């Protein structure tokens, strides 16, 4: 039997006027419901507190604000960051304006959590209600509570197999602890990755022995020959089937995560946790690993500098690139009504 929607759910969808709350309250009073009035109506504790301590009007104002609240999921490299790996002044200003207007911004990246956290701190996205999606959706992190809401890891034998397969084909492979990159060789690819993401690494003789727990992600890199990575993905496809998913976050980076992990899946998980309708979601990116969240969001935006497949999946393509405040264009158009 299909569960009936609460007053709040229907109000948020625009299916009921606010005054319908009084009909629902009467139903609860005389219907003998086996739950509290707050639960019956579907209100959050904060909303109930406003209603009880202030007024009907105050609750209506709060619910209306919640109904209009949007959440935007922003990729970092090639999207929110310019080619120099910096936040442009225009993007910084737009992020602050969106936050002041009551909207939410979630950094959604393939980068490890410790790297994403540094970027979130730089943008001031670490207070109450701020979240990060890292490792291409493998981990969702609450920055204010400093705890993970969701995390899915890869078994250590799988890590060993891909490291060995990459080495055999002359490719760099790395994974991550909570604080640094772990790899078994110092390569040009590693140095390039550290320079562009401003991260640190530790070279170890055996990455499995060095890992204290299962990692969320590993990555195979070739900064010179994309086709070599394509051949690697093809050569390992049969073994990887059902064990892990792979996606390019750039022509040089082939990401490896647990089955079912994607930015799009993480967007849906976080919205359910926050009780935000998918109708109020926006996502922006530029690379293959961004396609799932662009398709999941109500408004999926591709940067002007995005790969052709990303633009094809998008509802909107920016006129400006990541070097020209492209994210501010999205925030202005879809969140601030500019």
Which residues are catalytic, by number?
75
**Segment 24-32 long-range contacts (CB within 8 Å, at least 24 positions apart):** none
CA distance readout (Å), 209 to 75, 156, 202, 219: 32, 10, 13, 18
Paired tokens of 260: 């079912």
Question: Which residues have a Cβ under 8 Å from the Cβ of 100 and sit 6 or more positions away?
Answer: none
Q: Which of 62, 96, 86, 11 is nearest to 335 (CA)?
A: 96
Rg (CA), the chain: 22
CA distance 236 to 233: 5
Paired tokens of 237: 């496809």
- Asked if 160 and 245 count as a contact pair (C-beta separation under 8 A), the reply is no
CA distance 222 to 190: 10
What number of CA atoms fall less than 13 Å from residue 144's CA on the CB side?
8
φ and ψ of 34, to 5 deg: -90, 55
């Amino acid at each position: 039997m299909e569960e009936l929607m609460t007053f709040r759910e229907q109000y948020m969808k625009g299916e009921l006027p606010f005054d319908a709350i009084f009909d629902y309250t009467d139903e609860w009073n005389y219907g003998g419901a086996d739950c509290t009035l707050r639960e019956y109506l579907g209100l959050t504790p904060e909303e109930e507190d406003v209603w009880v301590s202030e007024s009907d009007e105050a609750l209506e104002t709060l619910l209306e604000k919640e109904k209009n609240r949007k959440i935007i999921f922003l990729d970092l490299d090639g999207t929110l960051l310019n080619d120099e790996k910096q936040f442009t002044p225009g993007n910084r200003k737009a992020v602050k304006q969106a936050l002041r207007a009551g909207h939410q911004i979630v950094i959604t990246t393939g980068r490890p959590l410790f790297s994403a956290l540094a970027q979130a701190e730089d943008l001031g996205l670490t207070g109450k209600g701020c979240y990060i999606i890292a490792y291409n959706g493998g981990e969702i992190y609450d920055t204010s509570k400093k705890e993970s809401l969701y995390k899915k890891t890869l078994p250590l034998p799988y890590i060993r197999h891909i490291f060995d397969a990459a080495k055999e084909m002359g490719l760099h492979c790395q994974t991550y602890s909570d604080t640094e990159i772990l790899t078994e060789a110092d390569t040009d690819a590693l140095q390039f990755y550290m320079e562009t993401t401003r991260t640190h690494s530790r070279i170890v003789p055996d990455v499995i022995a060095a890992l204290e727990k299962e990692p969320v992600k590993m990555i195979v890199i070739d900064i010179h020959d994309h086709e070599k990575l394509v051949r690697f993905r093809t050569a390992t496809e049969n073994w990887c089937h059902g064990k892990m998913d792979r996606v390019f976050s750039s022509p040089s980076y082939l990401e490896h995560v647990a089955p079912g992990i994607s930015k799009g899946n993480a967007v849906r998980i976080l919205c359910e946790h926050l009780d935000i309708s998918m109708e109020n979601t926006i996502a922006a990116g530029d690379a293959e690993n961004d396609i799932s969240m662009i398709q999941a969001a109500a408004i999926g935006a591709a940067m002007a500098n995005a790969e052709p497949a990303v633009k094809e999946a998008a509802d909107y393509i920016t006129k400006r690139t990541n070097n020209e405040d492209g994210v501010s264009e999205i925030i202005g158009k879809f969140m601030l009504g500019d």
